[in-house]
A and B are shown apart, each in its own frame.
Chain A
Amino acid sequence: AQKVTQAQTEISVVEKEDVTLDCVYETRDTTYYLFWYKQPPSGELVFLIRRNSFDEQNEISGRYSWNFQKSTSSFNFTITASQVVDSAVYFCALSGGWNGNKLVFGAGTILRVKS
């Protein structure tokens, strides 16, 4: 069975603080894909990143960075210098076997950035 755990239900930070959202996953597949999605107050799901199980390189995109560690089954997401517009629900998700297979989502982390 596959499982994604986002232990942080809600995080509040003040603007310009750095914040890390944790994601721990479980899977028996040797090939799998990990995702982060953002859900702003408007409700749509916005794709942020996809990482496959064979690529452990960390990735940086502007203020966003991701740390993938197979040894600890974690795929953490850091926002540097947070902004009010980062306030949203963030979901970590996993698909096993192949890209495009059914996604298993974590419960989500609500991020509130205060000015």
Chain B
Amino acid sequence: DAEITQSPRHKITETGRQVTLACHQTWNHNNMFWYRQDLGHGLRLIHYSYGVQDTNKGEVSDGYSVSRSNTEDLPLTLESAASSQTSVYFCASSDANYGYTFGSGTRLTVV
């Protein structure tokens, strides 16, 4: 069965470290998204991609980067982790016919 997986599920890191969150989907969806969830804000879009080599900034992209070298993966990198980036991160993929699938989330704590 097709799926979308995020890893790790939980991570604790120190301020200033570079961190990469993985997202892998086997739906063969062209579109992939990264969101962060914070109380009172819902899910906010960080970065998104409509296909290989395509990346776009979302609403809250400062301090984050993504790259899309293949259809399956959209890793999210925090260049220098800050306490304000403590959050739950969700990856999603979509296509026009199927709609959206979401990963189970990654809880990141920056200390």
Contact = CB atoms under 8 A, between A and B. Distances in A.
B60 interface: no
Interface in B29-79: 29, 31, 33, 35, 40-45, 48, 58
Contacts of A16: none
Nearest to A91: B42
Give the contact-size bracket for chain A: 20 to 34
Contacts, number: 54
A100 B95 contact: yes
Interface residues of B, number: 25
Interface in A14-63: 35, 43-45, 47, 50
Contact of B45 (A44, A100, A104, A107): A104
A37 to B, nearest CB: 8
Contacts of B104: 43-44
Interface of A: 4, 6, 9, 35, 43-45, 47, 50, 91, 93, 98-108
Interface of B: 29, 31, 33, 35, 40-45, 48, 58, 88, 90, 92, 94-100, 102, 104-105
A105 B42 contact: yes
Given A43-B88, A44-B105, A100 B99 contact: yes
Given A100-B31, A100-B94, A47 B42 contact: no
Counting chain A CB atoms within 10 Å of each CB, the highest count among B92, B98, B100, B102 belongs to B100
B105 A47 contact: no
Given A43-B105, A45-B102, A99 B96 contact: yes
Given A44-B104, A100-B94, A105 B99 contact: no
